[in-house]
Structure formats: C-alpha cells, structure tokens
Structure 1
Amino acid sequence: MQQEIKIGYEFFQNVDELNDIEKKLFETAKSAREKAYAPYSNFLVGCALLLDNGEIISGNNQENAAFPSGLCAERATIFWTAANFPKEKILKIFVIGGLKDFTEKSTAIPPCGACRQSISEYEVKQRSDIEIYFASMSGEVYKTHSVRDLLPFSFDASYL
C-alpha cells in the first residue's frame, strides 16, 4: 500500500508579513548569526527560540578544526536552553543561515537532519509541537507547525 506524505508549511515573501514576535525572532537569529564561529566553511547560522515564559534565547553554529566536533546553531541553542530552562517549553525556533558574504541569491536553509532529530526529541519531551521558521538573508521565510513536517519518519523513544 502506497501512501502520500504531505508536508505542511507556510511561505512568506518578506519578513514584513510576519507578526511582531516572529519579526523579533528573525532579528535575534540574524544578530546571532553574525557572531557564529565558522572559519572553515564561512557558513554562518543563527538561531533564536521562544520559550513559553516569553524569553527569547539565541545561539549560533560553532565549528572546529577536528570535524565533526562543531555544533549547529539549532542544537547549540536548544541544548543550552534545556540545560538552563529545563521546565520551559519551546514554542518557536527561528533559523537564518548562509555564507558569510551572502548575496541576493541566498535561500532559506532548513535545519539539518541531526537538528531535526533533536527538535523531535524536545517535541516528544514537552508533548507539544514547536513551530520552525527558516529564512534567507533577503527575508524569505518558511514556517512549519512541527518538526514532523520536515521529518515525517522520525525515531523516538517509543521504538526502544
């Protein structure tokens, strides 16, 4: 039996189409991106997330000469948040990435597979969806309502 996988997402041509909190998350992620440590790839990624207590946390990617010892912006931000706010739920994650010297041809970059799996773990842990936004430097934004839209066949503790 063959089944169709449907991916739910919204697309915004410009950041101006977002609400105020989403715009703030975009700006926070963009600012965090500028502080990324990526001397090898020159691919800078910033992340901002919104907690249910209203706090916004940001982080960025951290590379290392001993590949793969670095860490993506999304996981760096989520793990730090979980260590410091273990009881708060993550409501939204906003990611913006691209080459250090971006061009107008920049595109929205979604979380990598490892980050998708980590986001999935926290959705299961908190028993609620996390909205994921990923944007280009020029302001195009994609929004999903859950990591399941990006990772439809996820692995979680129910398989163990």
Structure 2
Amino acid sequence: MDLAIEARHRAYAPYSNFTVGCALLLENGEIITGNNQENAAYPSGLCAERVAIFAAGSQYPGVAVLKMAITASPKDDSFHKPVPPCGACRQSIAEYENNQENDIELYFMGAAGKVLKSDSLSDLLPLVFDKNYL
C-alpha cells in the first residue's frame, strides 16, 4: 500500500483533483505501480488500476498478478473511506484474473485509514462478462 500511496502522489489529475494510486505484486516478485492520468479530451485519460495492470501485461506477459493495492483521495488527502475500482477497471482486472486462472487479491483504501480486502475480483463483479461469452 505504501507504493500505491507514492504512486497516488504522482498522479496527473488537474481536472478532477482526485488522485488514485495502484501497486501490483506479481508472482515473480516484481511490483508495478500506476496512477490515474487525466486528459482535457475526456475520456482519453486512464485509471490507475488499468495503467498498472496494462503495464504489467506489457512488461511481464504471462506473469500472474497476485495482489493489487489501491488508494484514492482528493489531492488534499481528505477522503478516508476505502475506494474500490470503478466498473471499467473491474472489467479489465477481471480479464487478467480470468486469463491467468488465478484470483487477484484486492486491497483498497482512501488517503489513509481503513483498508478493505477482496479475495478476488469476482467478489466485486460476480456476473463478469468474459471471453466465454464470445
């Protein structure tokens, strides 16, 4: 979570002023971080979770993601309720979880304080759309 917090402080969020950081632990021991990247041409930006998981898939194809830590808050660090991934991120994480045939533990919090844990993305998105429907 400490690396996710560091990533959150590097987020590019000049429009929403809402920063998100993410850190992934891969099965090979590597840790990949990401943060939200906004764009004036909304919705051209990308969420922290997708930045991190796409970077992991690009840099370490075939290496399973074991855990994901997420922290989110306005830039003033005033929000302390746990913030889960958005719907688009849930769908993207579900794709990786499905492909690797292994659960991804998710930990999420606000700027600080209480951390919630989900044992699998399927706990957050039980009726996931995946390649089995295609």
Q: TM-score, normalised by structure 1?
A: 0.82
What is the alpha-carbon distance in structure 2 between the residues aligned to residue 78 and residue 138 of structure 1?
A: 23
Q: Which residue of 1 aligns with 2:12?
A: 37
Whether 2:82 is the aligned partner of 1:99: answer no
Instruction: Summarize deviations over 1:125-150 as a string: whole Å, max 9, x none.
Output: 10100001101222210000101110
Q: Which residue of 2 aligns with 1:134?
A: 108
Aligned ranges for residues 63-102 of structure 1 at < 5 Å?
63-102=38-77
Question: 1:55 aligned to 27, 30, 41, which one?
Answer: 30
Report SS of the residue matched to 2:107. strand
The unaligned stretches of length 5 or more in structure 1 are 1-25
What is the alpha-carbon distance in structure 2 between the residues aligned to residue 48 and residue 82 of structure 1?
A: 14
The unaligned stretches of length 5 or more in structure 2 are none
What is the alpha-carbon distance in structure 2 between the residues aligned to residue 118 and residue 127 of structure 1?
A: 14
Q: TM-score, normalised by structure 2?
A: 0.97
Taking only the aligned residue pairs, the percentage that are identical comes to 57
Tell me the number of residue pairs that the alignment of Structure 1 and Structure 2 aligns: 134
Please identify the structure whose Cα radius of gyration is greater. Answer: 1
CA RMSD of aligned residues (A): 0.8
